[in-house]
Structure 1
Amino acid sequence: MVIRPQDNWNIIVASLEACLNDISAWMNSNTLKLNQEKTELIVFSHKYQHTKGLQLKVGAQTFEAVQAVRNLGVHFDSSLNMEKQINSIASSCYHQIRNIGGIRQFITTDACKTLVHSLVTSRLDYGNALLVGVSDTLMSRLQRVQNTAARLVTRTRKRDHITPVLYLLHWLPVRFRSQYKILMYTYKAINGTAPEYLQELVTVYRPSRSLRSETESLLCVPNSRTVTYGNRCFGKLLV
């Protein structure tokens, strides 16, 4: 359900409550139960828009709007700046790096690289398509994590330049890894191997008359009204 700032929030709340109550009733009639303890309410809006105090009532349970939720291991904050997710990734990765660092002198470089890929890089890559378009300040936090992991594998000193180290390891910088994920999804969408909901977001450019560009596999760029949200949608990220 899309909620716009100019909409009547009282009507929206009533519609949401009716929808959730219908879902709860359907589940009860089919010997299922809506787990209200794991149900949360979040409103994605501009960081300056006031949503504190918004409530939904489902049965005897009342849900208040929260600032962040977690779904499938990814933290979503109400303004979608992904800061909470990035902080969580960085904290988890540094914990694993410290553990590996404690045994680094007893293992080979290949063994260290395997551990880093399993425990650190996998965390950097999980859900990283959601990080495309976030601020350079936030993305630099994850880049520092990757730099630290690369120095651990190669035993490079902290004051040495990191770019040759990443090149030696054939590691793409964190921002480019996110972009690579988007490009991979796009390729699959164009070739019909991506989920249908992603294929519907990709439109190949078809000129109205014969042009040389019709064989270049260009894509149509959707219009957007906002930079913070509109320019980070999947269709805009393709260009």
Structure 2
Amino acid sequence: MQTHISFIIKTCFFHLRRIASIRRYLTHDACVKLVVSLIFSRLDYCNSLLAGLPASSIHGLQRVQNAAARLTLRKTKRDHITPLLRSLHWLPVNTRISNKLSTLVYKCFNDSAPEYLQSSLDLYTQPSDRPLRSAADPLRLHIPRSKLASAGQRAFPSTGPSVWNSLPLELRQSPSPLDAFKSRLKTQFFP
């Protein structure tokens, strides 16, 4: 994945330099639209495959997002990045990955995801010999054990349920439409 991440970083910084050369001619809204279409389309493409990677691998993608926020808001490297991301309503890269995984699991529950993804998720069944606190959670997913420590734990059948189970129960049980779920999810993940 490191080759793929390096290519994304290189391409995004190329586009950021090109946007920076014309930034003084752009309005704020036009710059945001340009950055979202050129940079975030690359950062978000297949980013659920990056789930479970070490933070050192994702750090380069976060640097791209930070540079895009600074360019959009005309700030310097010395300005703190968290308020900038918050003012633009942009989630950090690792949170964007969790957001996408949670949305995929939600689609699996509502039969709007592909069949192969739906079949890879199993509801957690409680052992019959003793009652557990998890019995009150009907939408808890089973996290399968994998033989491969690196690739197996990063696959959707493992990462999807672990992210889903970490969400609050009222968010997982909401029978809301997809757009409302995405809005509530972003509110949950926003720092």
Of Structure 1 and Structure 2, the greater helix share is in 2
Q: Extract unaligned runs of 5+ from structure 2.
A: 163-191
What displacement does 1:226 show? Answer: 2.8
Give deviations 1:32-69, integer Å, cap 9, x for gaps: xxxxxxxxxxxxxxxxxxxxxxxxxxxxxxxxxxxxxx
Alpha-carbon separation, structure 1, partners of 2:61 and 2:7: 10
What RMSD in Å do the two structures reach over aligned CA positions? 1.6
Structure 1, unpaired ranges of 5+: 1-81
1:118 and 2:40 are equivalent in the alignment? no
Q: CA deviation at 1:208?
A: 6.1
Tell me what 1:131 maps to. 50
Please give the residue correspondences for 1:138-217 in structure 2 after superposition, counting only pairs within 5 Å: 138-207=57-126, 213-217=135-139
Higher RCO by CA contacts (8 Å cutoff, separation 6 or greater) = 2
Percent identical across equivalent pairs? 44
Distance in 2 (alpha carbons) for counterparts of 1:204 and 1:169: 37
Give distance in 1, aligned partners of 2:127 and 2:107: 25
Residues of 1 paired with 2:49 and 2:154: CA distance?
9
Aligned length, in residue pairs:
158
Q: Which amino acid aligns with 2:122?
A: T
Alignment of 1:60-75 (within 5 A): none
Q: 2:155 — aligned with what?
A: 233
Aligned to 2:180: none
Structure 1 residues 4-58: Cα deviation after superposition (integer angstroms, max 9, x where no partner): xxxxxxxxxxxxxxxxxxxxxxxxxxxxxxxxxxxxxxxxxxxxxxxxxxxxxxx
Cross-structure match for 1:218: 140
**AA partner of residue 199 (structure 1):** Q
Deviations 1:109-167 (A, max 9, x none): 11100000010111100110111111211100000000000000001111111011001
Amino acid at match of 1:222: P
SS at match of 1:203: coil
CA offsets 1:165-213 (integer angstroms, 9 cap, x no match):
0011110001111111111111111222110000011111243668772
- Taking the aligned partners of 2:114 and 2:106, their CA distance within structure 1 comes to 12
2: CA distance, partners of 1:152 / 1:86: 21
8 A Cα contact 1:221 1:235, kept in partner: yes
8 Å CA contact 1:206–1:214 kept in 2: the answer is: no
Moved more, 106-115 or 184-193: 184-193
Task: Determine helix, strand or coil for the equivalent of 2:111.
Answer: coil
Q: Which has the higher strand share?
A: 1
Report the TM-score, using the length of structure 1 for normalisation.
Answer: 0.63
| Deviation >4 Å, runs of 4+ | 208-212
| Aligned equivalent of 2:4 | 85
SS of residue in 1 equivalent to 2:71: helix
